[in-house]
Amino acid sequence: MYRILIIIASACLAFSGSISAQRVLSLDSCRALALENNASLKCADNNIKSAREINKMAYTHYFPNVKVEGSAFYSTDKLVSLDLQKELGVKYEALDHGWFTGVSVEIPIYAGGRIDNAYKLSELGIKVRQLEKARTEKELIVNVDKLYWQLIKLEGKLHSVLKADTLLAEIARVAKSAVDNGVRNNNDFLQVQLRQNTNKSIASKLRHGIIVARMLLAQYIGIDSEELTVDSYADILQRQNKNQPFVATTGSNDSVADDAYQTTEYALLQQKVKSAEIDVKLERGKLLPKFGIGLSYSVENMLGTSHGGMLLATLSIPISDWWGGSHAEKSKKLELQNARYHLIDNVQKLNIKIKSLRLDIDDAIYQMDVAAESIEQAKENVRINKSSYEAGMSLMSDLLAAQNSLQQAESSFVDAYAEYQIKVSEYQQSIR
């Protein structure tokens, strides 16, 4: 850990750069912009609103069903004709127009519990949509963090390459002086130039990668990439040095299990079980009797104005539906059993995932410590080989190999540092 802090301090002292008019965003700022602008979260909000509307619709089924209807007609011919010419010498014709209107009210007294269960299912739908939004937020934060630390990693690697360029420039000066003094041949100087050209190529690729990484992050958080820049690699290391990060997550298996039961994923699995339980009740309700009462009142003018009302009760028993319905209910019960199996199975997978992320964090800290130790060793190796080369006791290839080891060790530290940050983010979101 001490070596890591040394690397942080040296990076902060070595790095300097100008800040343009771009927006300098911290990780928290990027997260906030993503939560505000990302399309997936907006869709999740709409899904919640839709679920609430369905819930309101389900609640209306508790109300009486009221219908108003009416009709009218006009005919060119009489619809009622009675010819009694022979018997009474009379012909009677009537009804060439008329109208009818009425209102009816139906009140469901018992519907096999389907109204209650449908309403409970709609309430459950709201909870599921809210949990899905929470899961989307978690995924969003992890994705933002990955894009952010990918950008930081590329800038950190570029920072390492530029530091290596400074060292190579010093080595080139030493080699040129040795060649000019006739101590070494020109091949030594050419080897350094070749290594400098290699670094130029690496730096070019890193700069292109930084541009693409910035565009991806900007698109994800909903701003123009031309407006975006992030905190410098050295500044981030300096802040983490002050905050004393890099804390191992070793814990008991019991604590991991407890974490799994607090997650959004577990809550969603529970809702799926509850939904399957309600589905069984709804299917059973189709096989139960239905009872309701109704009231109607009508006014009509056909052969004169008249009106009247009626009170009625209905009882419906689905006898034939029992044959196929019992099998449908059994099918729903099997689906409920599967939902419970999935709950148990996925809790176990959540426990493994959380434990794995803890181990990944610990490993990333270990890799940083190893890389920090390698950097210190590589620096000493460079110093020894440089002094030895200047004294004419070693080859340029040895000095360049030492310089390359230092550059690789610094690059490994950047990789481990970015991996640590990503795994911490994944772990923090996995236990929410």
Q: Identify the band that residue 19 occupies on the pLDDT scale cut at 50, 70 and 90.
A: very low
Domain 2-430: homologous superfamily in CATH: Outer membrane efflux proteins (OEP) (1.20.1600.10)
The one-character DSSP state at 227 is G
pLDDT class for 25, splitting at 50, 70, 90? confident
Confidence of residue 257 (pLDDT cuts 50, 70, 90): low
Are 121 and 278 in contact by the 8 Å Cβ rule? The answer is yes
Least confident of 21-25, 27-31, 258-262: 21-25
In this predicted structure, what is the pLDDT of residue 53? Answer: 97
Condensed to tens digits (0 to 9), the pLDDT of residues 182-213 reads 888 899 999 999 999 999 999 999 999 999 99
User: Does residue 242 have a pLDDT over 80?
Assistant: no
Instruction: Give the H/E segment covering residue 176.
Output: helix 114-180
Positive or negative CA dihedral for 410, 413, 419, 422?
Answer: negative
Q: Which two tokens stand for residue 430?
A: 């996995």
DSSP for 401-422? HHHHHHHHHHHHHHHHHHHHHH
User: What is the band of 247 on the pLDDT scale with cuts at 50, 70, 90?
Assistant: low
Mean pLDDT of the chain: 86
How does pLDDT run across 347-373, given as a tens digit for each residue? 999 999 999 999 999 999 999 999 999
Report the DSSP beta bridge partners of residue 307: 299
CA distances from 218 to 31, 221, 223, 314 (A): 11, 5, 5, 64
| Domain coordinates in residue numbering, the chain | 2-430
Helix (H) or strand (E) holding 68: strand 65-74
User: For residue 157, what pLDDT is reported?
Assistant: 94
> For residue 332, which of 283, 287, 286 has the smallest C-alpha distance?
283
Distances (CA, A) of 263 to 135, 136, 203, 204, 394: 9, 13, 42, 43, 60
Cα separation, 427 vs 347, in Å, equals 16
Q: How far apart are CA 424 and CA 368, in angstroms?
A: 14
> What are the pLDDT digits (tens) for 406-430?
999 999 999 999 999 999 999 999 9
Tens digits of residue pLDDT in 67-76: 999 898 777 7
Rg of the chain, C-alpha, whole Å:
39
CA distances from 13 to 8, 17, 164, 237 (A): 9, 12, 15, 11
Closest CA to 240 of 75, 5, 62, 424: 5
pLDDT computed for residue 228 by the predictor: 85
